[in-house]
Chain A
């Protein structure tokens, strides 16, 4: 451990006090921030000797985070009157604040850090007891407003809730979202990170489902420019409830998504279908930890990487079936398409099983475009570039076609096409 660096070493001594005294007017938070800040500073920066961080260099992101945090501006977002508003609910995140037009339905609240102390306090302190995670700590350090979505019992919400992280430049920000579904309710969320430049985003998302509920969560990360996009997503699922997660990540200097799922209720289920499509020298890291803590629980993870240029992708999936979780079904797959000789993928699907009555599978593959398929398509008059495009699309279609929501399927497909450049 002698050579391990701690976070403090990345912060200039002159700035040490700054971060413990931000949000002066929120004395409750200030106290909290100072505590967590000091604690954070002593934490080691995960070195790439640690399995979970082996292929994701985090120190540059942390470094930038502290540098940018001092430059944060206080610009607010101005609505464009001509902005097209469909039937969905639109919420925008800009410079630490959540914005929306008109009245929000009662199940959505944008909590102001300066006003909603008790709520914030309980949230943050509760969270912190269970979490010991770098991304989480960074989020708390620069905590700003929070978005909270909470359904009532039996409440089925058809409207899509769109949460849009607008483009930022030279910012360090900490979006925080809390989604809670009461019994027998359903909800659809679409989270979109627009392309930011020279910024660091530390996202924290908490998801909690009581029994018999369903959450569809769509997440789209546009290609980030000289930026770091880090997410810690914690999901707790109760009896007979299910979370369907779809994501498309086009990469960042560091794009890191930590998803921790606790299948706590009997027959609870998590389904994750994800595409990651980094190009240039970008990175996309996916870390999943799924705990099957109850009977009849299901997890299905299908991650597909399409990697171009000198980009790097990471898949680290750990599915753990605990002793009392009989009749668990767990399937984990990571398939990768390398479009360039310089692209890299590191993949590690792990199953840890402590019960005999289970059905589990894991697999990982990586390869290049199939020359026989390219020839077959070309032999029908289609040029090489289009042939390759067809093959990449057909590879991604195995994920995209699973999206039942027609609008979302189209949105994902359009973003996929935009993110691909085939030579």
Chain B
């Protein structure tokens, strides 16, 4: 047994979307300070796991448990999971025309502050921090008064997800294919944002198809997802092996 403190513990989890059972008997433990990469072919259930963690209404948990910070995560509504420090970086971030980025982010931060019985963030602190993080993410100031993801390119949307993550300072970030659709420069920027978050008290789950991202973000553990569950785990060398051989040597076993 590890002496490290457990942040997330998934036990014997089954989850379905519609009539289809997608996650099958999944077990996964993540300690504070760890970065886990989840790799696997299309349709293996990686995104469903992200949805299950965030509490997406389409995703029904039919068996098992998820404990997060020793709380039964499955009893928490979506917004409380976020306020407890769980962040989902969307594979396809949603456009919300007419709702400005800064209004949205401020409301999110204040919701979290309220949950922690803290005061609302001051306008000056908020703007200062937003500017710093936007700079790091290479996001133009003018974007901040525009609608959330409104008319953004794929890369801009992903950088905006990381900006939101930096502002909300989650304990556990679940990043669902944050690297898909990114050019090399954006990939570096996004990785820099993610790395700046990692520390002894934060953890992350990085869902990705490619080893590429893992050159910039060093995972402690790499899992291979197939048919709704983890079929193999290893260190970052496993990712390299997958890049060379593909998934077939594992999935055909």
Looking at the complex, which one of B96, B108, B168 makes contact with A394 (CB distance below 8 Å)?
B96
Residue interface bits B74-103, CB-to-A below 8 A is 1, else 0: 000111111100001010011011110000
On whether A378 and B79 interact (CB within 8 A), knowing A390-B107, A391-B99, the answer reads yes
Shortest Cβ distance from residue A23 to the other chain B in the assembled complex, whole angstroms: 50
Looking at the complex, which one of B78, B97, B115, B147 makes contact with A375 (CB distance below 8 Å)?
B78
Q: A383 CA to B115 CA in the complex, in Å?
A: 11
On whether A380 and B82 interact (CB within 8 A), knowing A371-B57, A375-B56, the answer reads yes
B99 and A378 within 8 A (CB): no
Looking at the complex, which one of B56, B93, B98, B108 makes contact with A381 (CB distance below 8 Å)?
B108
Contacts of B189 in A (CB 8 A): none
Residues of chain A from 247 to 291 with CB closer than 8 A to chain B in the complex: none
Q: Is the interface of B mostly helix, strand, loop or mixed?
A: helix
Q: A142 CA to B57 CA in the complex, in Å?
A: 57
On whether A382 and B111 interact (CB within 8 A), knowing A375-B78, A376-B94, the answer reads yes
Residue interface bits A388-407, CB-to-B below 8 A is 1, else 0: 00110111111001000000
A398 and B57 within 8 A (CB): no
Q: Which of A380, A381, A390, A397 has the most CB of B within 10 A?
A: A381
B57 and A386 within 8 A (CB): no
Q: Is the interface of A mostly helix, strand, loop or mixed?
A: helix
Contacts of A394 in B (CB 8 A): 96-99, 147
Shortest Cβ distance from residue A250 to the other chain B in the assembled complex, whole angstroms: 20
Shortest Cβ distance from residue A26 to the other chain B in the assembled complex, whole angstroms: 51
Shortest Cβ distance from residue A386 to the other chain B in the assembled complex, whole angstroms: 7
Contacts of B168 in A (CB 8 A): 380-381
Chain A interface bracket (under 10, 10 to 19, 20 to 34, 35 or more): 20 to 34
A377 and B115 within 8 A (CB): no
A379 and B78 within 8 A (CB): yes
Contacts of B93 in A (CB 8 A): 376
Q: Which of A372, A373, A376, A396 has the most CB of B within 10 A?
A: A376
A373 and B94 within 8 A (CB): yes
26 contacts between A and B (CB under 8 A): A373-B94, A373-B96, A375-B56, A375-B57, A376-B90, A378-B82, A379-B55, A380-B82, A380-B105, A380-B108, A380-B111, A381-B112, A382-B108, A384-B77, A386-B111, A390-B96, A390-B99, A390-B107, A391-B96, A391-B99, A394-B97, A394-B98, A394-B99, A394-B147, A396-B98, A397-B99
